[in-house]
Structure 1
Amino acid sequence: MTLHPDAIAATIDAVQAEADMRHWLTRAVIGLNLCPFAKAVHVKGQIHYASYLPADEAGLIEALLDEAQALLACDASQRDTTLLMAPNTLADFLDFNDFTGRAERRLARAGYDGVLQLASFHPRFQFGGSAPDDIANATNRAPYPTLHLLREDSVSRAVDAFPEADAIFERNIEVLEALGAEGWTALDVGRGGASR
């Protein structure tokens, strides 16, 4: 099979995917304090970055299950959470959203219910009922389609340590509305942002 030259240029490797995700995490998630729990695991080097590089999602659930097993095989002090990026597939948000639902069900069937949580990020993330250009969508926008595995125990400890965890989302909306679309664009946290 021969790839079209544009397709070759568009293919993202693991090095670029990780660099762009680290850039997004430090500038947007930590920089804007969108997740008050992210800084500690980032500073301690407890975030594992993994990439699924094929151009279709056929093996992505198996990759997610492998990452779930690898996460739990490590002590949380070494690896507390995993970001599994899929930079070359699931570019359509609705397809990704459907896929995330299937992935959650598969994790539950594999026995991870109550042990791991799955969060998701996508460059075109859109909350139900919101307009595509609603700045609130940026809370879940990342450079690439990403499945985020979190340990339930770690989430519970973080929520206990942060008494107003329920207010995080509302605060994030306020921050993003103050920042505006131009401010978000100026952060340059999308695809290729780490190399510009």
Structure 2
Amino acid sequence: MPASISPALAATRTWVESFVVAHDVCPFAGRELARDTIRYTEVEVSEWEPALLTLIEECHRLDETPAIETTLLVLRHGLGDFDDYLDFLAVAEALMAEQGYEGIYQLASFHPDYCFEDAEPDDPANYTNRSPWPMLHLLREASLEQVLTHYADPEAIPERNIDVMRRLGAGHLAANLAKLRDKNAY
């Protein structure tokens, strides 16, 4: 990443290194981090339309640039409320399908207040999808399928992650996430 990156992108990269890779939340992230094939980009979402256009532009970029394996789209200024974020996510998923990207790219979703349906807000399991800033993660479906064929028991990844988060505890996880946001807020 360039030396002059925004605080939000710096926090996101630190989160990928110190949380996602360090706790093996995504067993494939370490390889992509080491290969420098993760694209980090930030988009203003106070108005949805330009942000959604940026999402599709990022799909085009992935189409045209095989050297980029995945993109983390950090969503700034406008989606702090988790319910608003979920509404935006639904529109983003519908737009990707409408643009012909269903089955080509998958959207993974992350938010500082992420809460799984039917989970308590303070359940540490929610931290598997909590991040310093609201974000969308664009993943290449073909790459995921290929990697998963070489990974023993991929169906167990979510349960393993939940166990790790519960062992770490909500207090520890919340403090670390808050540190990333506070240190890199602007």
Q: TM-score, normalised by structure 1?
A: 0.87
Q: How many residues align?
A: 181
Instruction: List alignment gaps of at least 5 residues for structure 1.
Output: 1-12
Matched, 1:130 2:138: no
1:149 corresponds to: 138
Aligned residue identity for 1:29: V
How far the C-alpha of 1:157 sits from its partner, in A, is: 1.1
Offset at 1:98? 1.5
Following superposition, the deviation at residue 194 of structure 1 comes to 5.5
Q: Which residue matches 1:163? A: 152
Does residue 108 (structure 1) correspond to residue 92 (structure 2)? The answer is no
Structure 1 residue 191 and structure 2 residue 181: aligned?
yes
Instruction: Name the CA distance, whole Å, in 2 between partners of 1:127 and 1:87.
Output: 22
**Runs ≥4 residues deviating over 2 A:** 53-58, 185-190, 192-195
Distance 2:93 2:63 in 1: 17
What is the deviation of 1:84? 0.5
CA RMSD after TM alignment: 1.7
Q: Which runs of 5+ in 2 are unaligned?
A: none
Equivalent of 2:87 in 91, 98, 102: 98
CA offset digits 1:25-55 (Å, max 9, x no partner)? 1111011111101000011000001110253
Counterpart of 1:27 in structure 2 is 18
Matches within 5 A, 1:172-191: 172-188=161-177, 190-191=180-181
Q: Which amino acid aligns with 1:125?
A: Y
Q: Which of 50, 58, 72 is equivalent to 2:49?
A: 58
Q: TM-score if structure 2 supplies the norm length?
A: 0.91
Aligned mates of 1:145, 1:178 — CA distance in 2? 24
Give the corresponding residue for 1:17.
8
Equivalent position amino acid for 1:165 in 2 = P
Quick one: percent identity of the two aligned structures? 37
Structure 1 distance, partners of 2:175, 2:80, is: 22
CA distance in 2, matches of 1:14, 1:177: 33
SS at match of 1:101: helix
Q: Could you tell me how far apart the structure 2 residues matched to 1:14 and 1:57 are? A: 23
Structure 1 residues 93 and 54 mapped into 2: Cα distance closer, same or farther (>3 Å)? closer
